[in-house]
Structure 1
Amino acid sequence: MRIVIQRVTHASVTIGGSTKSTIQDGYLILVGIGEDDTTEDADWLAKKVIGLRVFNDENGIMNRSIMDINGEILVVSQFTLMASYKKGNRPSWIHAARHEVSIPLYNHFCATLSELLGKPVGEGEFGADMKVELLNDGPVTICMDTKNKE
């Protein structure tokens, strides 16, 4: 699994002109799921996200977690994170998981984040044409890949 975490002051997802989810201070997380990803990968990423200390403390040092600030999380599926671009100029997504694998893993990741956070997380809609709006705070953007756990 690959994720892009963006620290935001606000973020929202709109589908067909209607707002599906909106959050204030916290994380917008884009999620790409590969064909060999597992629930163990999703659990590992969720724990890393919750423990990540990228919010400023009283001294302006990035030393606080999402839990410390009582922040919110919005999760958006994005299969294009799994792009292979080694040959030619047109990306290939042959390593992205099929829907029967990726949808349950996406739902598991969101549920695990929600459980660890202690409140619901906002979500996009898997497979929908979404418009994502955000104000990146910092900017702080972090990429994580479960293939680089060690």
Structure 2
Amino acid sequence: MLTRLCLVAGLLLCVEATKHPPMASTSPKPTPTPLSLADFYRIYFHREDLNNDGVQTLSEFEQLWRQADLNGDGSVDLREYTSIGPSTMLMASEVYKYLDHDHNGVITLQEIPRMFTQFDTNYDGWITEQEFVDEKIRIFNLVTKNIGLGKK
């Protein structure tokens, strides 16, 4: 969940980079190339691949959830989700609402398998980099559209 929150913050940077093209400079300073959304998610896929085997498993999803449960009460609430890393409250809360499948205000360990199968689109028991990237982009587009940042 920590990396998920950092991911949201990074996504906002990607959105902002597309809104504000680099200004012309009189000095020949190199301009960094903006990271594509897909490349950004690829980086986070590998950060969340805890055993570095090239796929993510349900066990890894559950381990990430346990890390996000800061107070150890068996659930991750919006406060815990937003305190893990930098992000705007609006974007983080919209992603959180999307991930909270039963909409009770907390994400419990029992919700993780459903979240996992959402990413494991071919239902083979692990999430590949491409499955992860595709689902993250889908969620990003849905959430940014819902808060008025995406294409209409």
Whether these two folds match at TM > 0.5 is no
Q: Whose strand proportion is higher, 1 or 2? A: 1
Structure-2-length-normalised TM-score: 0.26
Structure showing greater Rg: 2
Q: TM-score, normalised by structure 1?
A: 0.26
